[in-house]
Homo-oligomer: A and B are copies of this chain.
Amino acid sequence: MIFSPAITRLIEALRRLPGIGPKTAQRLAFFVLSMRKEDVEEFAHALLDAKKRVRQCSRCFNLTEEEVCSICRDPRRESTLLCVVQEARDIYVIEKTGQYRGLYFVLHGALSPLEGIGPEELKIPRLLQRLQEGEIKEVIMATNPNVEGDATAFYIAESARPLGVKVMRIGFGLPVGGDLEYADQLTMSRALEARREMF
């Protein structure tokens, strides 16, 4: 059986979302068809509206609906401390800890020579420009704990060194609540390196 054209089109649109395979797309499509008309309209408008309104903060490249995002505009944030992340969504993960009171900078990716992503493809030149302005005293590199994230952190640390900015890397080790038995070799070896005195 072939689905009707409008259903097929909907299934295909849903399949483009990450982590949505053909079966899930089908299930979601049938769910959408069972939704009230007003709810489908609300869904469609939420998509269009978000895409239309949301843009990058001109200072930190976080997602915002204004020229400058709410974090950059907040006078209570420590303006000498900058946390560098790969994606805007990473900001949310850090904010949830409630422990960080500095500013952010979103690179929108990580260096990946294999995929042709160099510093110019990311916001790295804008970051270095920001560091040259002199207000930032400390940078925390919170790029992902993988090859690309590490390479990006090292590249930025090297570039920032002549500017006299202190560049830190977030800590690596065992995830809290995890079980030692299930730690992979690399995490375990990083946890050993990151050992600290207890008293």
Contact = CB atoms under 8 A, between A and B. Distances in A.
Interface stretch (A23-31, A137-145, A161-169, A191-199): A23-31
B92 A6 contact: no
Given A30-B88, A30-B89, A49 B9 contact: yes
Nearest to A51: B40
Contact of A6 (B49, B89, B95): B49
A54 B6 contact: yes
Nearest to A55: B33
B44 A7 contact: no
A154 to B, nearest CB: 26
A109 to B, nearest CB: 10
A32 interface: yes
Interface residues of A, number: 54
A63 interface: yes
Contact of A13 (B1, B2, B33, B47): B47
24 contacts: A1-B95, A1-B96, A3-B92, A4-B53, A4-B54, A5-B65, A6-B52, A7-B54, A7-B63, A9-B49, A9-B50, A13-B42, A16-B35, A30-B88, A32-B47, A32-B50, A33-B51, A33-B54, A33-B63, A37-B51, A40-B47, A40-B51, A43-B47, A44-B48
Given A17-B32, A44-B45, 6 more contacts: A1-B95, A2-B70, A9-B46, A13-B47, A32-B51, A33-B63
